[in-house]
Amino acid sequence: MFRFTRFATEGDIPAWSIVNVAVSTIGTVLIAIAIGRRIGRWKRWTFERDDTFLVLFVAVLAANSAISYPYLKEVVMSPAGMFYAAALFIAVRDVLQSVRRHPSARVAWLAVPLLVISTGWTLRAATLVESLRASAFVNRNDWAVAEDREDAVRPQWRSRHPDAERLVRQLRREVVDMPVPQPFTMPRWTRTWIDPY
């Protein structure tokens, strides 16, 4: 779903959505500029080491998108996301090198988008902790009903192996005894900054 657009039409855009879209858009523009500067050379089939990352990013993005044709799921796009980070590294380094080659007050304004994406991605990385906490809570809860679920999905699972029941119970006990933070303990003010998806 286009959540940012929906939030905008409803007149209430949470901070996390603004951060996500802003940093991704700036990052994508920088990558597009980096590719645009090299495309003439690529047409002559001349590639340098940095070019490989950009070409790989475009290829993985295309392949990843293609296999997503039946339905959308962000996790399917994870490989493309990894290459996006590599491509963004090349693009940001291009910007820094151009600032170094042509130092001037006007060029210094390039620091603004760099600061925005640097701050935004730092925030997204920091809030990843909450995603880990939420996933741990969900997984531990799933293990609490592991036997019930197996009974519903595979009624014969207990008789398939003499140790099946013992193994599931041991795994369940280990997971259930593991300390996991309760989502309730997160302060309410953090919710506007943490991407819940």
Subset of residues 105 to 144 that bind another protein, contact rule: CB under 8 A: 105, 107-108, 110-112, 114-115, 118-119, 121-122, 125-126, 129, 133, 137, 140-141, 143-144
What does the alpha-carbon distance between residue 82 and residue 74 come to, in Å, rounded to a whole number? Answer: 12
Q: 147: which 2 tokens? A: 């036997």
Nearer to another protein, 82 or 161 (CB): 82
Residue from 150, 158, 181, 193 binding another protein (CB under 8 A): 181
Nearer to another protein, 161 or 173 (CB): 173
Nearer to another protein, 38 or 83 (CB): 83
State which of positions 14-53 bind another protein (CB under 8 A).
20-21, 23-25, 28
What does the alpha-carbon distance between residue 191 and residue 17 come to, in Å, rounded to a whole number? Answer: 11
Nearer to another protein, 55 or 175 (CB): 175
Q: Residue written as tokens 């369940």?
A: 172
**12-27 per-residue burial string, b: 16 or more CB within 10 A, e: under 16:** ebbebbebbbbbbebb
Indicate whether 4 belongs to the interface with another protein (CB under 8 A). Answer: yes
What does the alpha-carbon distance between residue 184 and residue 60 come to, in Å, rounded to a whole number? Answer: 38
